[in-house]
Structure 1
Amino acid sequence: MVNYRYLGNSGFKVSEITYGNWITHASQIGNEQAIATVHRALELGITSFDTADAYANTAAEVVLGDALRGQSREDVEIFTKVYWPVGRKGPNDAGLSRKHIRDAIDGSLRRLGVEYVDLYQAHRYDYETPLEETMQAFAEVVRQGKALYIGVSEWTAEQLRAGHALATELGIQLVSNQPQYSALWRVIEGKIVPTSEELGISQIVWSPMAQGVLSGKYLPGQPRPEGSRATDAHGGDRFIQRFLRDEVLTAVQRLAPVADQAGLTLPQLAIAWVLQNPNVSAALVGASRPQQLEDTVKASGVELDADALAAIDDALLPVAETDPEKTYTVSPKTRPGA
C-alpha cells in the first residue's frame, strides 16, 4: 500500500503517490478507461487526486468527479487549481482575481460533484492581480468551507514568502507548492526548497519521471515510440522536448544497473528519487491504463541508499537542469487570454 506524508506544516496527510489527470483524462484516453484507472488507483492505496479546471478545459474535472462518485468523501483527498483560461475564456475567465476565484471554485465543485476540495491551488502567479486580492479571495473560499487548505504551483521563493505572510495574517494555511521536479529537473533545490522548509510548505511535484524520459523507453538515436508522450499532439510533446537530447537519453540508460541493484524498475527509481527529498510530500503520477499504476506505486516507502543516490548523481547531474533562476520563468508576466 501507499505511504502517507503530512502536507506542509499541517495535520493533513496525503498519499505520497498522488494521481494527477493532466493530459490523460478527456484528452489522451476515453472516459471508461480513465474511470477504470482511477478505480485501480484506489485499490492500490492511492487516495489523493490532483486535477485543475484548465485540464481539457474543465472536462478533466468532470471525468475525475465521475470516477470518484460513490466513494466516501472522507476517504479521498481532492486537489484542484485555478488560473489558466477556462470555459468561454472571457476577460475575467483567467487569473487570480477575486471574481475569477469565486466563479472558478464554484465551477470546480460542481464538476467534481463535491461540497469542498481538500486543497485549492493557484496554478501560477498572477502578476496582474494584487497578491492581497488573491489571498483575500482564497481566505474567503476557506471560510466558506469550499476548500480546507491553500496551495500554489510554480511560485518563486519570494512569491511563496509573500503569500505565506498574507495567508498567516488572514488566518489560513498555505501548505504546498506544486513545481516540476525530477532527477533531470532540479531547479527548486537552490531557493524553493530552503524557503519552503523555513515556512512549513511542502512540494507536490509533477513530472517526477521527466515526462517519461526517466522510464528509459526513449533511446538515443532511435525513433520516438508510437503513442508515447513525445508523439502526443495534445500538448505533451511540448514539455518533453527539453529532455530528448541524445546526451540526456544516453545518461538515463546508465541508470539501469542502479535500478537493478535497488530491485526497482526505472520508473520506480525515478519516483523513489524525488521522494527521498524530505520537503516533498507527494509525487504526482499519471496513467493511461491501470497496469502503469501497479508498477509506480511500488516506489512508495523505498529508501535509496547513499551509493544509489551517488550513482544517480554521477549519471544525471552533468545533463540535469539545476539553475534556480529557471523558477522565475514559469508564470507568464501577463495574464493568459483565450
Structure 2
Amino acid sequence: MNFASDNVVGASAPVLEAIVRHNGGAMPAYGADPLTLGLTPRFRQLFDHPDLAVFPVATGTAANALALSVMVPPFGLCLCHEEAHVMEDECGAPEFYTHGAKLHGLPGTGGTIAPDTLDRFLGGLTRHVKQMPPRALTLSQLTESGQVYTVEEITRLSRVAHSHGLTVHMDGARFANALVASGCSPAEMTWRAGIDILSFGASKNGALAAEAVVVFRPDLAETLDFRRKRAGHILSKGRFLAAQLDAYLADDHWLANAAHANRMAARLAAGLAEIPGVRLAWPVRGNELFPIVPAALDQALRQGGAVYYDWASRSLPAGETVREGERMIRLITAFSTTGTEVEEFLALARRAG
C-alpha cells in the first residue's frame, strides 16, 4: 500500500521491453540514432504542429531548468505559483541554468494562478532598472495540489503573459494525467492555448527515466541543443531515452497508463469520502488526492503498513483549514496501482474509522 508517489513504482512492461529490444547491435551515439531522430516527426504528429522541436532528457528537473534557461535571461524574473515544483523542489536548478534569474511565486487556490492575479502583478511592476523584468510564466500541470488547468484557463493566462511580453512554459510532469482528465488533445492543452515550451513528463507514468523538452517556437529552440550538451544531458547512448518515449507513446500507452492511475485515485477518494471525519482538501482531478483525516486515523493507517506523505499547503480553499487533531496527507496512485491495493487501504481506513 505505497501511495507516496508515482515515482516509487517501476517502469511499464512495454517500456522495458523496448529498451531490451533496442539493446543489441550498434547505433550512432549522442542522439544521431534512428530512434532519436524519429522522435521529431512523432511529436509533430502527436501535437499537430509542423515546426516543433523535441529534446529528450533523463529527468524532469533537467527538462524544466533547460526550458526556462532559453526563456529567462540572468537578470529576468520567472513567475510561478508560490508552491510550484520548480520553486520548492528542484534545489535551485532553474536559477542555476538561467545563471541567476529569479523565481517569484504568486498565490492561488489549489496550486493554480488566476489570470487576474497575474495581470495585477504584472501591471503593478515598475520598469526601473533596479527591478528584475518579468520574462516567463511557468504553469504546473497537474498542479502541486493535484488540480488541472483547463484549456480556457491556460489560454487566458497565456494571453495575459504574452500581452506583457512574457513567454509561457508548462511543467507537464503529470501532463498525461491532466490530458486524460480534461478530455482534450495535446495541441489544445499546449500551443493552441499559448504554451511556448512544454516539459513533457513520462517517468511518473511508465517510463524508466525519460522526459522531453517540447518547443513550439523555433526561435526558442535555437540554442537548446548547446545548453543541453553543456549541462551534461545529451546521453551518449541516447537510443535508450528514445526507446522509452517511443514505447510510451505507441498505441496510446501513455494515455492508458494515466487513465488507470486517475481511476484508481477516484476510487480511493470515493471510498475515503464515506469514512466519518475524512474530507478532501480539493476535488480529485488526476492521480493525486489530499485527504484531511483525524490524527488517530493517520496513525492507524501508518501502523497498518500504508505509506504516504504528510502534506501542508498555503493554497487551501477559502474557509478550509486543518484543525487541531487533524492531519492532511497526500496519496498518489500510479499506472501500476491495483484495485486490491486500493481496497486494502480503504478496508484499513474503515476499521480505524
User: Same fold, TM exceeding 0.5?
Assistant: no
Rg: which structure is higher? 2
Task: Please state which band the TM-score falls in when normalised by the shorter chain.
Answer: 0.3 to 0.5
